[in-house]
Homo-oligomer: A and B are copies of this chain.
Amino acid sequence: MRKMFDEGVLERYRNLTRDVEERMINLHPIQSGGRAGDYPGVVQAVLRFVDGYSVCDFCLKGRLDLIESPPLCDFHRDIAAFLGMDEARLFPGCRQAQYAAFHALVKPDDTIIVDSLAHYSTYLSAERVGARIVEVSHSGYPEYDLFIDAYAERIEEVKKETGKWPALAFLTHVDYNYGNVFDAKSVGEVIHDYGVPFVLNGAYTIGRMPVSGKELGADVMTASLHKSFASPAPSGLLLANEGYSDVIFRRSSIRGPWSGRNFENKEIETLGCTLPGCVAIGVMAAFPYVVERVKHWDEEVKKARYFIEQLERIDGIKQLGQRPHRHDLVHFESKSFFEVAQKHPRKGFFLYDELKARGVIGVQPGLSKSFKVSTYGKTWEQIKIAAEAFIEVAQKYNIPTH
């Protein structure tokens, strides 16, 4: 319902602060890979281009990916090359990139194959284009491993049931619940045998680990830059190879029936231009840092494994997902903390409170039965302090540790 506007409410917008990053070790799973503030070059670039249409000073061709200064045109080419794909476009998020790819490749009532661990935005993108989905199943508790061999079966079933091949097959390279890493290359080979387009969601891989679309056999890739590319939000990337890029990045052909106006240089799926201003600049400024950091992916996996090993010293704590784990996103089942929560006056919030009192945040407030964290980008010292905090909490509540 419509409210009357009262200027008194404006006080709450006058001094918006966030101090957790400065004082705490933050293990928030969706935040760790997008910490732009860790990179001074990104912060400076954002500041310089904080005005709305700041990147448009010298826009001569009416499209973001054609602007030469700042070097957005170069960037689009360079990021595609870095990720082993033909064409790239910036988007205001991975979900918008997924939707654009679906919208270009899928007609309403087409069927698409998705992995059953996909991000919710994949399901919503399918729903928004009106596609029917068929899921590739997983092994369930405790590993939640995807049955990647089932892609072939699902594709054949769709053909048998509907008379048509699926419009695309989709794989989430690393899932957002368990941090499982799937063998995209094998999936790609299976899918390609059927000539079905292979869309790979690199939201939790691109910008964290080395990724080459060419090596993995992806036809289309999506990335979340504010999730994994040290970039401010909202930022994402849509990449496509020849054979698909023409469709996905097709240009406008609408014409005003009275005016005759047309816009032949504009691309339909980007609605003409997608990501002006400080966010596009932040992504470009993050690029050199990201190229460097993906070289150290092995070390990040080592940190995650050490953290898992430490937390599993607590009775009732168990890492879910693939073992050994191969990603910094980790989901723990925590029966013993849940038992404490049942009797605690703060219920599940006790865990958040206790960790915060020890300088560690990122576990969702209220959760105690299971929780997700990410160790990405933390120093070894921070990892050790964080693990120790969990162990201290366990000991405080008389949960055995060994």
Binding site for B on A (CB under 8 A): 1-7, 9-10, 12-18, 20-21, 28, 30-31, 33-37, 41-43, 45-54, 56-58, 60, 70-71, 74-75, 77-78, 80-82, 84-86, 92-93, 95-96, 99, 103, 108, 116, 120-121, 123-128, 133-135, 137, 214, 225-227, 230-235, 241-242, 252-254, 256-259, 261, 263, 266, 268-269, 271-282, 284-285, 287-288, 291, 361, 364-366
The answer, among B50, B80, B123, B232, for a CB contact under 8 Å with A52, is B232
- Residue of B with least CB distance to A5: B81
Known: A92-B96, A272-B120. A254 touches B52 (CB 8 A): no
B31 A56 Cβ-Cβ under 8 A: yes
Instruction: Report yes or no: B233 in contact with A133, Cβ–Cβ below 8 A.
Output: no
Are the CB atoms of B16 and A276 closer together than 8 Å? Answer: no
> Out of B4, B5, B54, B233, which one reaches A53, CB within 8 Å?
B233
Q: How many copies does the complex hold?
A: 2
Q: Would A31 and B53 be within 8 Å (CB), given that A10-B287, A277-B232 are in contact?
A: yes
Residues of B within 8 A of A30 (CB): 52-53, 56
- A3:B50 contact, CB within 8 angstroms: no
A261 touches B34 (CB 8 A): no
CA distance A99 to B268 in the complex (A): 11
Given A75-B13, A234-B276, A278-B233, verify A47-B45 contact (CB < 8 Å).
no
Closest to A34 in B: B52
**Docked complex Cα distance between A274 and B313 (Å):** 39
A380, B42: Cα distance in complex, Å: 35
Which residues of B sit under 8 angstroms from A280, Cβ to Cβ?
233
Cβ A284 vs Cβ B252 within 8 A? no
Asked if A254 and B96 sit within 8 Å, CB to CB, the answer is no
12 pairs, CB–CB < 8 Å, chain A vs chain B = A2-B81, A3-B77, A3-B80, A5-B84, A10-B288, A12-B71, A14-B285, A17-B48, A21-B51, A92-B274, A96-B271, A226-B277
Q: Are A233 and B279 in contact (CB under 8 A)?
A: yes
Contact yes or no, A128 B103, CB < 8 A:
yes
B285 close to A13 (CB less than 8 A): yes
Closest to A138 in B: B259
How far in angstroms is the closest Cβ of chain B from A292?
A: 9
* Interchain CB contact under 8 A, B291 and A256: no
Q: Known contacts A35-B52, A96-B96, A242-B1; decide if A12 and B74 are in contact (CB<8 Å).
A: yes
Report how far A80 CA is from B2 CA in the complex, Å. Answer: 7
Contacts of A49 in B (CB 8 A): 16, 18
Given A50-B42, A81-B5, also A234-B274 (CB < 8 A): yes
